[in-house]
Structure formats: structure tokens, C-alpha cells
Amino acid sequence: MKGIITEKHNTAKRIADILGGSGVQHRKLHNVDVYEFDDTVVMGLTGHVIGLDFSKEYNDWSRTDVRELINADIERVPTRKTTIKALQGVAKKVDHVTIATDYDREGELIGVEALNVMMQANPNLTSDRMHYSAITPSEIKNAYSNHALVNYNLAAAAEARQIIDLIWGATLTRFISLSAGRLGKNFLSVGRVQSPTLSLIVDRERDISAFVPEKYWTVQAVAHHTNGDFTVKHAGGRFKDKANAESIVKGASSEGVITDLNANERQDSPPAPFNTTEFLSAASGIGYSTANAMRIAEQLYLGGFISYPRTDNTVYPNSLNLREQLIMFKDSDFGVYVSRLLDRDVITASRGKRETSDHPPIYPVSVASKASLNRDQWVMYDLVVRRFLATLSEPAVWSTTKVKLEVSGEVFKASGLKLIVEGWRGPYFYHSPKDKELPDMNVGDSTRISDIEICDGETQPPPRYGQGKLIKMMERLELGTKSTRHEIISKLYARGYVYSSPLKPTNKATSVIESLESYAPMIAKPDMTQHLEEDMSKIADGIIKEGSVISESREMLGEVFKDLTNNKERITESLQNGLREDRIVGVCPECKGELIVRRSRKGSRFIGCSSYPECNFSLPLPKTGNIVVTEKECEEHNMRHLQILTKGRRPWMLGCPHCNYIEWKNKSESDLSATDGKSEGAK
């Protein structure tokens, strides 16, 4: 008998249905779903069945010397006992098993973990691997017929990452949390990838705070041509001296002459196919968080609608028949664009800069309708299909016009833009520039000038990172992987290090990063992480061994800890100052003291006055969720707005805590009055 092990339960069911058809029997084995047909049994996991941890003697943070964790032994701990029992039950029934987990480092490790568990129950078990990038009948059948070998080097690279991240994360998190006096649920998280990423956000915020805006002035007017009106701007652009702008306006006549006209056509090349980073960036651009976009993409992948969403590749493989993929969508909601593409003799695709052999770029593998998906799934599916069609389309062509106009010896400019060949901009309409047409005109034409005016402005600071831009920056700096970058951003939100979109750091985040930059800069910069990422790639390629990379990382961490230990008092002071600032909500309306987020002896949270016990002013706070004090301030109560972050839910903007309390109190009194009124009526 043969076995197939997949990474998730719904993948197991789909693969069983594809390979077994109507002959599939479903049953439970140790309360785990298994699917049987002919001489084959298919079982799905729920991710890792083996976890990594330090031994129990290190569990007590206060009693453990943090430095001991650097070289402490790592134990492999079963995480899902019922799943392990089911794996061993399957192992006793089969003589061969095919690992069918996701084909990447993490998936390979999950498969190897399962295989090792099975071989404990059946040492004579033989094994192989199936690789697929889409859960469709043709792809699954082809993958099952063309088995590969289990890649132990790939799994070792993933395990090395797990071990290194555990050692660095646990050791640094404990040190920083103990230094700040933040234990339990309020610990301060530090990580090998997380901290350099947070440093990018904090550094950008520093640039914004340090930015000194400069005033400037521009001059613009309306030109009236016989064929239409258009706006012109002075060719000098921004004037730092307002007097210069004023002299131009003062000396301007009511007539202008066209002195130069340049009309051209500009080709706009199609975008590259989606890899994970580009997909998440595009999803962020239409309002989805990167974590939510990836979650939805995984649903679409498991449903057999799109290819595997974790990929670095931006070049379609030669084996992908582009015409066949298009024919599949001929009668779909995208039929009008597909028909145009199918009319071409040759269908070619755009290419990105990165080409890998593990998975193709993200593309649609089957047709879905709006009715068959929920709203969010349809939006993401629509995005993937449109990008795919765009990559097969012709370039868009824009007509561009640049005009120079002379008014009293001063040169003014105007530019026009019009889409004349839709090309790939037809199916992929996101963020497309708007047409800005100029009237037909010729050099020497006269125009009447009106509404000439001075417009004032200010130079702007660099923008904060949106999630899409941050994902791209992380990829460029080799922080994390295609599979983990969106998770890192989610953790920064969940741990109260950032809020809002684009991302703003809290005072807590700033104090943590400043402490690391001052006393352990290696942790806050990407260099060390880049080096270890390169080493893990070498493990995957079989160039170096897992153990040597882990040993090197322990040595690096040991050097970091020398600096941390020598500066513990300064770090403690810096962290505590930053943490206190993050708890200040505003000014007490009764005594003008500071209002601070506090905890009662019983653990409940409230806003209290720093002048207590002389001042008893207080406001209630929600019982659960991470409280973030934002920059926005209530003009009426001089209190900063609060945001509540709860895992698995959308952020709740509570707003001004005083306004919120008044609203709650009024509603409670109104509800009570209504109840009393009903009681009186009943009497």
C-alpha cells in the first residue's frame, strides 16, 4: 500500500479526489481525516508536527542567566500528538510514502519531520517527493507520475533558520524585556529579522521629524487658445524668493505666443509576472494588508484557482502553454480581453529580472466566477487574472505633448498626456495615469492669458513606508523570505511597535531600536541577517552544513551580548523612558497632571492621573487588546486617541478615551431609561 502526506487537510482531500475520483473513502484515524482509494491512503497535516524549544530548565525568565541560552541545547518537541499517532498508523499500513507538502524550504522541512515520525513506526518505509505548483488535475497527476527525491538539504536550511531565529529571538527578547522590567504578556520582542525591519521604520520616522520644510512659490496661469483652454506654469518651477514670483506676475501681459511644441509617442511596457513581493505590493496598493492578501491567496491556491503564491520567480516557464491558459478564460468575465489576445498569431509574455526553477510566477490556473468566491477572494483573484493578462498584452502607447509659451519675455510650460493604444492598461487598470489633453495648436499661435497667480507650497518630508513599499525594501535588503515578510509586518503591529497605515512607530519601538543601535548595532542593521540568509542558501545547495552555520550564529550572538551586558544600565534607562512616554495619554482636566495608562492591583487597565492620590481622576479602558497611544489629539479634552490591537481582528480606533467614556455613559443611561419605561408600562 502507498501513502501520500500533504501539508494541509484540504490539500489531502483535493489530491485524493483528483487521483481517486469517485472511489475515495473518507474516515478518521486518531481523529485525523484520511482518504483512501485503491491501494493508496492520503493524509493531511496542519503544518509542523515537530517544534523546537529549549529544555524546561530555561522556562523561568527571572531565574535563568540569559547568556546560557546562546549555547543551550535545542530539543525537538512533538507539537501535534494526535497527528503523530495518525502518521504512525499510516506508516504501519504502507510500504512507500510520497511527500506532497508545499515545495519550498518550510514545506520540505514539514515533510521531512513527518517522514521521520513515520519511519520510527516503519523503518523499512521507502519514500519520494512530488512537486507541484497548482492543485489542478493535470498538475497533480503529472507530479504524482514524476516523483523526485526528498531534498534533505532544503529541509536543513529551513531547520537552521528555525534554530537561529529561536536562539536569537529568545535570548535578545529576554534580555531587553528583563532590562525594561516588562515580563509576561507585556514582554518586548526582539528578532533577527524583525528588529532590522523595525529599524527601517524608526529611521524613516527620524528623517520625517528632522525634516525642516522650506517654503516655495510657483506661478501659473490659464491660456485661452481658439481650440480650448489649458493651464500653464512658469518654467522656473519653484521660487525660493516670493519677490521673484511677484515680479513675473506684475510684468505679465494678457497675451502669449506658442514658441515650441513637441509631440511624441511613448511606449509603456507591460509589467512583469507576479512573484510574492510584487503581488503583496499590488494588493497593498488596493487597500489590503500584506498578511490578509497572503491569507486569501493561500485560500485561492488550495481551491485550485491560482498557482502557488510563495515564489521569487518573475519568468513563466517554457512548459506553460500560454494560449491554452487563455482559451480557458475565453467565456469568463475577462473574455473581452482574452479574445483580443487570442487573435494574435504569437503570444509572448513579459519577463522580470528574477528567474527560479522551484515555482512559476503567480498566475490563474482555473476559471472562477464572482458567485463562486467571497468578496475578498474575488478581488485577489481578479488582481491575479488581470496581471496575467497584462503580462501577455502589447505595450500601451501614450501620446505626449510639451508646449512652451512666452508671455512678456517669460517662458511658461504645459504638458499633455493621452492613452492612444490601450495595450496592457486595458485589463490591468490599477493606478493608471489620467488623460490630460491639450488643445490642437501650432508654433506661432497666439493665446489670451488670464488668472495668472502665485501658488505657495512647502517641501515635503520623505513618506512613511506603506506595507507594499516595506515588503519591497525587505526583499532588497534580504530581510526575511518571500514566505515570512508579511508575517514580520503583522508581528510589528500585533506587538504594538507600529500602528496606522502607512506604518508609524510607537515610542516603545523607538526606544528599543535606539537601545539596540547604541549598544548592539549588529541587531538593528541588515548586514548580519543578509550574511545568515546567504549561508542558509548554501545549506540548501549542499555547499555547507547546517551545524556550521548555527555555530557561527551562536558566536555572533555571543559578541553582541558582550556589548549588551556592558551597557545594561544605560539600556534599562533608555527603554523605561521610552515605555513611559508610550503610556502618556494627555493632560488631566482636574489638576493638569499627566494621564497615564495604568494597571490596578487586580490587573484591570485604566487611565489614571500622575498626581494620585491627591487627584483621583480616571477613565476606564477595554479589558483586552494591545493599547496604542497615537499622535492624533482630541481638541476638546487634550487627550491622544487610542487604538486597540487584538490578534485576528481589525484594529479598533477607540478615539479619545474621554469622548468614548461620555458616549458610553450616555448610552448606558439611555438604555436604563428605556428599560424603566417598559417596566412602568408593564405595571
Distances (CA, A) of 338 to 94, 236, 342, 344, 519: 47, 47, 6, 10, 58
Phi-psi sector, 444: left (phi>0), alpha (psi -120 to 50), beta = left
Sheet holding 126-129, edge to edge: 25-29, 32-37, 40-44, 2-6, 96-100, 126-129
Taking a C-beta distance cutoff of 8 angstroms, is the pair 497, 560 a contact?
no
**What secondary structure does DSSP assign to 188-235, as a single string?**
PP--TTHHHHHHHHHHHHHHHHH----EEEEEEEEEEETTEEEEEEET
Q: Are 496 and 628 in contact (CB under 8 A)?
A: yes
Give residue 316's Cα distance to chain centre.
Answer: 24
Task: Indicate if the alpha-carbon torsion angle 90, 91, 97, 98 is positive or negative.
Answer: positive
Q: Is 373 helix (H, G, I), strand (E, B) or coil?
A: coil
User: Looking at the annotation, which residues are catalytic?
Assistant: 308
In angstroms, rounded to a whole number, what is the distance separating the alpha carbons of residues 508 and 502? 18
402 φ, ψ to 5°? Answer: -125, 130
Helix residue ranges, H only, 276-374: 276-285, 290-302, 322-328, 335-342
Q: Which amino acid is at 122?
A: N
Q: How far is CA 554 from CA 67, 69, 172, 645, in A?
A: 11, 10, 12, 34
Number of H helices, E strands in the chain: 20, 23
Angle at which helices 526-540 and 152-180 cross, to 10°: 160
Cα 220 from Cα 449, distance rounded (Å): 10
Q: Are strands 96-100 and 126-129 parallel, antiparallel or unpaired?
A: parallel
Cβ atoms of 269 and 308 closer than 8 Å: no
Cβ proximity of 575 and 180 under 8 Å? yes
Greatest C-alpha distance within the chain:
95
CB-based burial label for 397 (10 Å; 0-12, 13-18, 19+): middle
Three-state secondary structure readout of 255-280: EEEEEEEEEEEEEECCCCCECHHHHH
φ/ψ of residue 448, rounded to 5: -95, 135
How far CA 7 is from CA of 34, 98, 153, 178, 617, in Å, comes to 13, 12, 19, 38, 54
Q: How many CB atoms lie within 10 A of CB 491?
A: 19
